[in-house]
Amino acid sequence: MNRTPASRHRPALIVVPGVPGDSGGCADGLWAVSVRCPTGQLRVAALWQMIRPYASHVIRTRARSDRKAGFEELSLVFAGTPDETLPAMVDDLAAQSWVLDAWFVPWTPLREFPLTMPDQSGDPD
């Protein structure tokens, strides 16, 4: 899969299976929000300020860096957040100048990190 260089990549909002509140959502109410940014640009303090009202709902975090690919990623697992919270949170994160991509996915304890961005190209792996 070809990726656009980080310096030319535009922020994207990506939502994968089951939006909170719909019948395809996560039965356990656990959702992982992930943010990807260029290497050296992850602003953890700014991220926590943005999610502050729901920070107490974070039950797990995972940071990942791929210097060869030129990005850093932070994933946060939320439990018990209101249905409208995650889409709005991801919209706000994707609008930040330092963010390459932001997305959320249903999460289960059996699912292992990293929660990588789904392939949107339609090409098989």
End-to-end CA distance of the chain: 8
Question: Can you tell me the distance from the alpha carbon of 13 to that of 22, in angstroms, rounded to the nearest whole number?
Answer: 18
- State pLDDT tens for residues 107-119: 876 655 545 555 5
Residue 2 belongs to a domain: no
pLDDT in tens, 1-53: 334 344 344 444 444 444 444 434 455 678 899 999 999 999 989 998 988 99
0.75 exceeded by pTM: no
Say if 120 falls within a structural domain. Answer: no
Within-domain flag for 56: yes
- Residue 97 falls inside a structural domain: no
41 within some domain: yes
Give the total number of structural domains in the chain: 1
pLDDT score for 112: 55
pLDDT of the residue at 84: 83
Q: Find the domain containing 58 and state its range.
A: 9-72+102-109
